[in-house]
Amino acid sequence: MADQFNYDNLFSANSREAPPGSVRHSKYDFAVAYPDPDNLPLEDLIESVRSGFEREGRDLAYYSSASGDPELRKLVAEKLTRERNMKVTADDMVLTSGSGEAIGILIQALTDPGDVVLVEEFVYLGTLNQMRRYGADVVGVKCDDDGIVPADLDSVITEQIAKGKKVKYLYTIPAFQNPMGWTMSLERRKQVLEVTGKHGIPIFEDDCYADLRFEGEDVTSFHSLDDTGRVVYAGSFSKIIAPGMRMGYLVAPKPVISRAWSFKSGGAVSQFTALTIAEFMKNGMQEHIEVQNQALMVKRDAMVAALGENFGSSVTWIVPQGGLYIWVKFPKGTDLNAVQEQVFEEGVSYYNGSQFSPTGEGSNYLRLCFGHPSTDTIREGIGELAKILEKIGTFSG
Ligand SMILES: Cc1ncc(COP(=O)(O)O)c(C=O)c1O
């Protein structure tokens, strides 16, 4: 074989070695936040492609509008107005490759190295990684079952300002938080708005799980509680259709959108996907969400029951009213990080709390996702998890 060309001296100072990861799956996979492949609306999506293309397929000959398909933006704006009480139009948003891209470009637009950014004490790993990548000093705020604790938020901000730090924004996942599963109450949302308002700090609301409610009353969005443009909002089709669609959106005041947009690479999102989703939104998406949520509730119940049967009273968990996760707390001192690889080798995967923590604390917690596995797999797998943890001495039932 010919000698291979060497790029080593050519890489930019900013580039990092980050090979596209291949996800490892175990027999009982409670780590991945995927939907159940058996619940995907494939027939409806095929029909959506057909009808969309019959009407507008020839327009694929052109590059689409920079902000993404105007019709899909209009449909999303109507949905947000109807369901999240947001006063927005198609012009207030840009379509992105999943909400991950929305988060990434907003972080880049608002973060200089050393800036303090606030997050819930355990937070979605993808956001945490992106914040770290752009040099943010990520600081966690205490939470309880109702969401962010306002008094802690206030003292964290005051402390950071006293240290001479610039606190740029609060990132929050208020509905079916990843990984903790709770939904922030209305009262808390108002208090969080008040505390951040007092310090002149904007809120970045990541609402990607809002549609996955299978129980209880909806809580209105942060965005709807503010009329000053202080709340920036991201949403996604990953959790209501499929992550493979790679479609999300960022809603923000124009100057913020325009700065964030400048970090977007590759131009507008796929018009193929946008057209398909717009058709699906008009024909069947709401019904699909309802069916999917029913299935998620059955799985949540199966996981809660299995936890009850297999773990003693020293282990506790939050029962979520929607979303994909159960957040389980083991006694202080339990190290679920140290045994994660061994448990994986024995057939069960999870993420432990330290992976979601800005400080790396919390290895006595684990996040179990009930979206992807079947109810049988959930029942068996939680039993297996208890057996393995008992066998290796991490837990005694
Ligand atoms: C809270 C949160 N935000 C954003 C994302 C990113 O999702 P996507 O880029 O697929 O929209 C995820 C994915 O799990 C998530 O949990």
What digits encode the pLDDT tens for the residues 232-258? 999 999 999 999 999 999 999 999 999
Mean pLDDT (whole number) for 58-63:
87
What is the whole-number distance in angstroms between the Cα of residue 240 and the centre of ligand 1?
A: 11
Work out the burial of residue 329: count CB atoms within 10 Å of its CB; fewer than 13 is exposed, 13-18 middle, 19 or more buried. middle
pLDDT of residue 393 exceeding 70, the answer is yes
- Check if the beta carbon of residue 73 is closer than 8 Å to that of residue 95: yes
Ramachandran quadrant class, 200 (left: phi over 0; alpha: psi -120 to 50; beta: rest) = left
Q: Hey, what CATH class is 28-40+287-391 in? A: alpha beta
Asked if residue 100 has its Cβ within 6 Å of ligand 1, the reply is: yes
State the average pLDDT for the chain.
94
Whose tokens are 């956001």? That residue is 127
Closest residue by Cα to atom 15, ligand 1, is 124
Whose tokens are 């131009």? That residue is 267
Is CATH 3.40.640.10 what the domain over 43-282 is classified as, yes or no?
yes
Asked if residue 177 has its Cβ within 6 Å of ligand 1, the reply is: no
**Residue (of 130, 243, 223, 121) closest to 180 by Cα position:** 121
Whose tokens are 């140290």? That residue is 338
- Check if the beta carbon of residue 205 is closer than 8 Å to that of residue 287: no
Rounded Cα distance, 117 and 138, in Å: 5
Strand order in the sheet with 316-318: 316-318, 325-329, 365-369, 351-352
Summarised one tens digit per residue, pLDDT across range 34-53 is 888 999 999 999 999 999 99
Asked if residue 98 has its Cβ within 6 Å of ligand 1, the reply is: yes
User: What is the residue extent of each domain of the chain?
Assistant: 28-40+287-391, 43-282
Give 213's DSSP letter. Answer: B
Summarised one tens digit per residue, pLDDT across range 272-312 is 999 999 999 999 999 999 999 999 999 999 999 999 999 98
Rounded Cα distance, 103 and 250, in Å: 8
Summarised one tens digit per residue, pLDDT across range 312-334 is 888 999 899 999 999 999 999 99
- pLDDT-derived band of residue 142, with 50, 70 and 90 as boundaries? very high
**Residue (of 112, 122, 166) closest to 144 by Cα position:** 122
| pLDDT at residue 367, rounded to an integer | 97
**Percent of the chain at pLDDT above 70?**
99
Work out the burial of residue 22: count CB atoms within 10 Å of its CB; fewer than 13 is exposed, 13-18 middle, 19 or more buried. exposed
- Residue 243: CB atoms within 10 A of its CB come to 16
Q: Which two tokens stand for residue 41?
A: 């609306």
**Percent of the chain at pLDDT above 90?**
87
What is the whole-number distance in angstroms between the Cα of residue 208 and the centre of ligand 1?
A: 6
Q: Which residues of 129-167 are buried (b: 16+ CB within 10 A; e: fewer)?
A: ebbeebebbbbbbebeeebbbbebbbebbeebeeeeeeb
Q: Is this prediction's pTM over 0.85?
A: yes
Asked if residue 178 has its Cβ within 6 Å of ligand 1, the reply is: yes
Pocket test residue of 32, 208, 246 for ligand 1, highest count of atoms within 8 A of CB: 208
**Residue (of 102, 95, 100) closest to 275 by Cα position:** 95
Asked if residue 172 has its Cβ within 6 Å of ligand 1, the reply is: no
- pLDDT-derived band of residue 22, with 50, 70 and 90 as boundaries? low
- pLDDT-derived band of residue 19, with 50, 70 and 90 as boundaries? low
| pLDDT at residue 20, rounded to an integer | 65
